[in-house]
Amino acid sequence: MRLDLSLPHLRSRYLDGSLTPTALVEALHAQMLAEDALVDRHIWIHCLSLEAMTVYASALQGRDPKDLPLYGIPFAIKDNIDLAGVPTTAACPEFAYTPDKSATVVQRLIEAGAIPVGKANLDQFATGLVGVRSPHGACRNAINPDYVSGGSSAGSAVSVALGLASFSLGTDTAGSGRIPAGFNNLVGLKPSCGRLPTTGVVPACRTLDVVSIFALTAADAASVLAVAEGEDGIDSFARRMPEPGFNFGNATTFRFGVPRPQDLEFHGNAEGLPQFQAAVALLESMGGTAVEFDLTPFRAVATLLYEGPWVAERYAAIRPFIEAKPEALHPVTRAITEKGIQISAPDTFAALYKLKDLALQTHPLWARIDFMLTPTASTPYTIAAVEADPIRLNSNLGHYTNFVNLLDLSALAVPTGFMHSGMPCGVTLVAPCGKDFALLTLGAKLHAVAVPTVGATEHAPHQTGTLPDAKLFASEQIQVAVCGAHLSGLPLNGQLASRGARLLKAVNSAPDYKLYALPGGPPSRPGMVRVASGGAAIAMEIWEMPASQFGSFVAGIPSPLGIGTVKLEDSTLVQGFVCEAIATEGAEDITHHGGWRAFMASKK
C-alpha cells in the first residue's frame, strides 16, 4: 500500500511521535526509486539523494511540529523552478544552470518545514499540455501508464498521485496546473496571477505565468497557498490580492455558470457529457443554481494565446538560448516557439486590443454568477496518439483552460469521477482574481462527495486540513437595493461590479412608494419616494458588496438621491436608493410603470 502523505495524516503522526521526518524520507526515497524503475514513468529529472533529503529532515530535529505548518511534509518541484544547489533544466539539458538560491516560494515552504524530494519532469520550457515533450521521456499517467500525464507540469502531478510527495509545485500559463491534475485524480490550484511570486522561475510567458499547486485535497492546497503567497519585493509581477469579499464556498446557496449545450466539446469522448452533467447535479445538490452562459467570447480569448504576442513572449523568455542553440530544443517545442519571431509590433497591439474588447464582453457574466464550471479537459489521450498528432491533440486539451490566465482569473481543478477506462475526469471551478480561497473552500466540499480516493492511491480524501478561516473573509457584506441605472445591464451597473458586488435577487418594494423621472440630465434619473397613500410596489434588485467598498459607492451618489432604509414587499428592511421629496416637484410620475426598466422600455 502506498504511503498516506496527506497533510492531516502526517501531522497527526508527527504530533503523536509515531513518525519522524528522517524515517519518512528513508521510506519515501526507497519508494521513489522503485516506482520510477518499475514502469519507467519518467517522473523525475533530478531525484534528491537520501543524503540530501536527510539534510532537510535533520534540520527539523528539536523543532516542535506545532510551530511549523508544513513540518516534515515532502514536496516535489517542477524543474523550471529553482532549488538551491540543484540544477534547473526546464527539461533542456543544455540550458541547465545551478542556482545559489531557491525560488521564493520554495524557500518559504522549506522555512515552514517542508522537505523537497526532487525536480520533476515537464514539457520542455513549459510548452505543452501533454507531458511528452521532454528529452527525459514521456511522463506516464499515474492511473494508466499508456495515457499522457498531462503537462506541462507532468512529473509534478504524477509524483503526488503516486504517493511520492504530499504536494508539488508546477507552473500554469495555459492549463499546465490543471490538466495534469484532472488526468491524475488530483486537486490542481491555478492561483490568481501574482499571488505567488515567480522569482526563481524560468518564464514561459511572464505576464501570464503562475506557480501552481498540486495536492491530494483542496485543504492541503490551501495550507500550501497560505504559506507561499505574498509579494517578495523582487518579482515585479507579484501583487496584493483584492479583498476576497463574499465566500461562496461557505454559502448555503450560490450561483455557478455552465456553458450552453452547444458550447460543450468533448472531442469524441462519449463519457464526457454525462460525467460533466453529474458534476453539475452534485453542485446543485449542494445548494448551487446553474446559470447557462455563452462560452464564445472565452473561447475567442483562448485562440489568442497561440496566435498573438504571447507566442513572441515565449520566444523572448529564452531568446539568447534559442538563437544560440536552436537544435537543443525538442522539435515540437522549437516549432511552436520560433513562430514568435513572426509576430510584429502592430500584430502585438492588435491582439492586446482584441483581448481588451473580449474581456469587456465577458465582464458582465460575473454579476450573474459566483464562479463558472467547465470540464477540466475534454478527453484523455494515449501517449501513442499524442506522439502521432502532437499539435492538434495538445490544442484540444486546452479547450477549457487557455482563456483563464489571459483574463486574470483564478481556477481550481477538482476530481469528480472515473470513466469506464479507469481514467479519472474532473471539473474546473473558475472565478475572478482573488477568489482562490473561496474556490478551495467549495472545492473541498465537492471533492469530498465526488470521489472515494485520491490520486492513484487507495486512500480516501482527508478534508480535515487547514481550510480558510473567517479572517480571510473578514470583509462584512452590505446589501443595497437599487431601482434605477444601477440595475443589471444598465449604464451604472459597473459601479457595483467594480466593487465586487454580486446580484442576490430581483425584488419588489412594499406598495408604499412612488417613482419619478427626475428632471435634468441627460440621462434622466429615477427618484423613489415613500408616500402615505397612493403608492405602489417598485421593481428593484438587491446587490451585496464588501463593507469596505460601501463608502466610496455612497460618496458617488449625486444629490438629490441618497441611501436610506427601503421596505420590501415581505416587510424586510434594507439599505437602498431613496430621493428627497422636494426633488419631485415638476418630475414625471412614472409609478404606473412599476419600475425604471419598464419605463425606459416604454421610451423606445
Active site residue 212: no
CB 369 within 8 A of CB 425: no
> How many CA atoms are closer than 13 Å to the CA of 224, on its beta-carbon side?
35
Active site residue 190: no
Indicate the SS3 state at residue 570: coil
Catalytic, out of 6, 102, 149, 176: 176
Active site residue 176: yes
> How many CA atoms are closer than 13 Å to the CA of 598, on its beta-carbon side?
11
Indicate the SS3 state at residue 66: helix
Catalytic, out of 78, 119, 190, 435: 78
CB 75 within 8 A of CB 33: no
In angstroms, rounded to a whole number, what is the distance separating the alpha carbons of residues 283 and 426?
A: 13
Phi then psi dihedrals of residue 102, to 5 deg: -80, 155
CB 85 within 8 A of CB 62: no
CB 150 within 8 A of CB 350: no
Q: 21: which residues sit within 8 A by CB, 6+ positions away? A: 14, 56, 57, 58, 60, 71, 72, 115
End-to-end CA distance of the chain: 71
CB 106 within 8 A of CB 201: no
In order of 204, 340, 395, 473, 597, the CA distances from 128 in angstroms are: 11, 16, 9, 36, 48
In angstroms, rounded to a whole number, what is the distance separating the alpha carbons of residues 46 and 48?
A: 6
Return the exposure string of 41-50: e unless at least 16 CB atoms fall within 10 Å of the residue's CB, then b: bbbbbbbbeb
> How many CA atoms are closer than 13 Å to the CA of 37, on its beta-carbon side?
7
Q: Using CA of residue 123, residue 124, residue 128, residue 133, what is the dihedral sign?
A: negative
The burial of 513, by beta-carbon neighbours within 10 Å (0-12 exposed, 13-18 middle, 19 or more buried), is given as buried
Catalytic, out of 152, 153, 159, 410: 152
Q: Which residues are catalytic?
A: 78, 152, 176
